[in-house]
Structure 1
């Protein structure tokens, strides 16, 4: 089987694009290509040099080389920056899904054994983080009227919603077993069920008071309702 080193991968990139090149052009493109690849790989703590074999040489199959080229050319830079800044609400979910697919294909084509398993687990963890946080934003954004949405969105983003999303993070707590996560989640669910049930009772009382013809009840501060009518 014929293998390609990094210079060979860069040549293949130009050949696939049907571009004419000479040695000077190859030398100029090479560092840019590596830098672009490193930026796309950094999300899973991977760099181009990690693709070297035990002898310290690059040996890409043609399929793996094409997939690396596809990754280098894929326009996902802004989305990766948003992900690093945890700005999930403006991430393009379709672009990220395709990015993760390309990354998974590359890992499967080039690596084997525990290294392949490790990188695939990291990709899966990132996919979960993006999907959960994206959905979390969509849910929270529907809770309030437009005038106050940003104010409360920021509050929930910083506190409640973020806590709920992060406490079982596969990225942050990779060594918890599935049973650990299930048991902890069950404990949280039991405790939250009681709290939410009581809170819901207060919400119904408060809503009735606000709709009352009794001005004293209608104007009662929510703090007083919570204190006096908590059930």
Structure 2
């Protein structure tokens, strides 16, 4: 194959967390490494399933296996297993809007169930993320693109204990986002954290915050930039939010291995 995504060292860490091992009940998986390489090729290229190179196997067999692993939560378990040593000194919270391709519409459960909404740029999905103090992802949620960032602050921080929560303010009037509200302050306090969230310039009162620490928020912006090198992450082609999020989880898991 032209470009392998998985080095031997990376694969050694991934392999124990995937189904189909000889020690697992049922059938042994057929070459898990080649299958994961196929999924990463699709994630990197953004190509249609039908043009998957023959060296990876029959496209429909690869799709059916990927879809089955999505249903069974395999990608979620892989991500959780690899993201096992976060640096909890502080966490960073933010979101990014993903443009949805026209082929992503029409899922049976409806747009809301599949995290599709309409924002200023058209149909879109919003990816909400928490990273640790090293900029490594620890939690990923999806909503429709029109949802305000702050609506997901409680599930993002649920169960997390940290000293500081770094989050952005709402800057532009046409941007549906920002965490400068009491709801975010309360969620940060519930995690035992001090919120590092600047006030909007239109707000009369000021909230003291550590401006030097706030500069570390660039780590989560860099995380978004890196995962968008994968075209299937930068644009949503999948009808099901579950499947799109599975691509996200696999790409995010790789950040823990490099």
What TM-score bracket applies, with the shorter chain setting the length?
Answer: under 0.3
Structure number with the higher helix fraction is: 1
TM-score scaled to structure 1, two decimals? 0.26
